[in-house]
Structure 1
């Protein structure tokens, strides 16, 4: 996935991975009559938009008043996209589509399968792509305002070299994930601890990634996911330190998660130094630009100047 969306969607990738084995109850809100609920500088936000964002928050296991959180997010995103369009840094359809496809591939899904998951969850691909567009475009706005508005990979590499940096390197991992599933209706400390002991007994039996599937064959409620190629800046924060201290061919320690007990197998790890690595490192250094104090101040100014009407 290109742009800062790589980093901002990492947590969602994990949430979606957790949600994939579950069956979603079809959402009816998207089929209800659409009513305008909010107007942001002449841009309408409808009841359907709010329902889809609430479903999106639910997919991420967000708590609290989801409708109110959805309204706030959509107002802010409208302001961000309007400003990105005004200064001509809006992510294009092709960039968004490419990010969507790569995100699907990161979950071992085709774009068609991703469409199905999002539709079943009541989110829809269109709504998710709008979210991606915001995640890609807003850091560009902040970068332009603060003087760091390079966008393309080549621009980023050139910028780094101009400031005296060598072309940086990063670590490229190929990963597998083993999950000892604990159904929600059987989840208890005793069951989780028992499954963790099973995971700790299983880990020494795994040597590399070539024979993982055969090793877990016949084991009760154990699944294998091919996570594929993951660059170091893309590692989820909760897994990053565990993966970084694991040698190629080894496994991380087991963690209790929402799905049960999991561990990661590091199939391979190598240092890469190319334009893609340079882009990843540069963007990792600036991944929080969209959430910086300057960004929040700028968004507050946009909101102050905006005409927002709640229906």
Structure 2
């Protein structure tokens, strides 16, 4: 579960909301104590008002249980040494404001006009950030998606199984640049790359052409789907015609280019697989989140007044 889940749905209502009456009275009667941490009537009323703005109808009961969960999240985060800074919360608050087309100041004003203090929203953001970090630290290595689960999910989305993907057959070529090479030497290597690219016409002749330059390593040709290459490289490959070479990229080894030996669009469910795997991973993460919270609640001392 992440802060984004509740940041989005329903908050657009906030822009147009006009709730009559002034701010809620600052009632301070203690309603629940969670491991010696009090939750007051004021806290519950504020959270209930926020929930209404975001489309929830659970009222005081839902607000109370959500606040109990947040206390446990923050206490567990503190035990784990996780600290959410004011800057972290400010950034998330700003992102939330931009999603409803407001500045942070205007979001605060809109909340106040609806009887909700900005601190109520900020506390919720802080707890969700801390919880997200806890979940990643504890469960990231445990999330496993089986091939059978992926296949079963794909069968439910047969309309996506016929998607196409771009397949590239490429040949990495490295113009070695020693670490201590000066500016003039680096400039010369760039000129070598430019000459190589202008004369290159076929991957079959890559090794022969490279032999005319010093310290050039021609790697074996490889075949990659678009989902298997970094976005910047995919963009460069898409811009480069077959039989040509991409522009040079600085790497730890020197100047690296890719000869495009072939590229073609093929029937592939790679994109659909990635989407399905993400969905399954999110579901697994949500289940782990619920188990973790049940564990924290089972250990906690929760005193309802």
TM-score (ref. length: structure 1): 0.51
What is the deviation of 1:33? 3.0
What is the deviation of 1:123? 1.9
Secondary structure at the residue paired with 2:32?
strand
Change (3 A) 1:148 1:139: farther
Secondary structure at the residue paired with 2:70?
helix
Change (3 A) 1:8 1:23: closer
Change (3 A) 1:289 1:125: farther
Gapped regions of structure 2 (runs ≥ 5): 143-226, 233-276
User: Pairwise mapping of residues 1-311 of structure 1 onto structure 2 (< 5 A)?
Assistant: 4-11=2-9, 15-29=10-24, 31-64=25-58, 66-148=59-141, 166-167=229-230, 287=282, 291-292=286-287, 294-311=288-305
Distance 1:288 1:8 in 2: 16
Task: Spell out, residue by residue over 1:266-296, the C-alpha distance to the aligned partner (whole angstroms, 9 max, x if none).
Answer: xxxxxxxxxxxxxxxx99885556622x221
CA contact (8 A) 1:115 1:125 kept: yes
Secondary structure at the residue paired with 1:91?
coil
What is the deviation of 1:112? 1.3
CA contact (8 A) 2:14 2:110 kept: no
TM-score (ref. length: structure 2): 0.52
CA contact (8 A) 2:77 2:134 kept: yes
Secondary structure at the residue paired with 2:77?
helix
Distance 2:285 2:66 in 1: 14
CA contact (8 A) 1:119 1:125 kept: yes
Report the count of equivalent residues. 178
Larger Rg computed on CA atoms: 2
Change (3 A) 1:69 1:9: same
Distance 1:25 1:89 in 2: 40
Change (3 A) 1:103 1:283: farther
Task: Spell out, residue by residue over 1:96-145, the C-alpha distance to the aligned partner (whole angstroms, 9 max, x if none).
Answer: 11110121122221111111111122221101011111221212111211
Secondary structure at the residue paired with 1:9?
helix
- Across the aligned residues of Structure 1 and Structure 2, the Cα RMSD in angstroms comes to 2.9
Task: Choose 15-24 or 294-303, whichever is displaced more.
Answer: 15-24
Distance 2:4 2:67 in 1: 21
Distance 1:283 1:128 in 2: 28
Change (3 A) 1:68 1:167: same
Task: Spell out, residue by residue over 1:190-213, the C-alpha distance to the aligned partner (whole angstroms, 9 max, x if none).
Answer: xxxxxxxxxxxxxxxxxxxxxxxx
What is the deviation of 1:70? 0.7
What is the deviation of 1:83? 0.7
Distance 1:105 1:286 in 2: 28
Distance 1:19 1:97 in 2: 19
